[in-house]
Amino acid sequence: MLIVLEGTDGTGKSTQCRLLGEWFESTGREVVLSREPTDGPWGRRLRESAATGRLSPEEELDCFLEDRREHVGQLIRPALDAGKVVILDRYYFSTMAYQGSRGLDPAAIRRRNEAFAPLPDHLILLDLPIDDALRRIGARGDTANEFEQREALTKCREIFLSLRDEPFATVIDSRGSVEEVQQAIRAAVAKPGREEGAA
């Protein structure tokens, strides 16, 4: 089973991924937790460029695709084939949202990814108003840089929410407590996913 948590920065993805993994383990399932960008060479390059901001949108897209190709081949597919629960903190929906917010076409990004990356059984979209998200990441949104960040995150949120009607997607309001959000995620993944529901 492939479960993906997505959302803008500040929505609490990493905490919720960890708690969800612990819960699956407590039910006796084998769990693999991972994240993108990865800690591999492409992922490291991307994290460095996030600090320096030097890559063009196209270069960035190519790096995310290479990073994901490795991730799928080396970790995601083998773990799914072994029957494990794979929980991802970001996946190609982040590429649609973030590189989409830089002007690339989200639908084209999606097609390039789905040519090699397995679809999730459950996509959890953690949603937060941008003011709350900025507050959580320690920004007020009123310096020039933060204004740009607000614009970009607003666009990202729109692209994430455009996925709400996908059969595998659930939008969860992340303004609740960590426990409330975790309960909502568990309820969502307990429902039939993409394949189980397809019959």
Per CB under 6 A, residues contacting ligand TYD are 9, 36-37, 47, 50, 64, 90, 94-95, 98-99
Q: Which residue has the tokens 């383990």?
A: 25
Residue nearest to ligand TYD (CB): 98
Question: Alpha-carbon distance 123 to 116, whole Å?
Answer: 17
Task: Read off the amino acid at residue 150.
Answer: R
Nearer to ligand TYD, 94 or 182 (CB): 94
Cβ at position 96, least distance to ligand TYD in Å: 8
Task: Read off the amino acid at residue 78.
Answer: P
Question: Alpha-carbon distance 141 to 110, whole Å?
Answer: 30
- Type and span of the H or E element at 3: strand 2-6
Residues in Cβ contact with 188 at an 8 Å cutoff, skipping those fewer than 6 apart: 122, 124, 170, 172
Cβ at position 107, least distance to ligand TYD in Å: 15
Cβ at position 89, least distance to ligand TYD in Å: 6
Nearer to ligand TYD, 50 or 187 (CB): 50
Nearer to ligand TYD, 153 or 188 (CB): 153
Task: Read off the amino acid at residue 144.
Answer: A
Cβ at position 17, least distance to ligand TYD in Å: 10
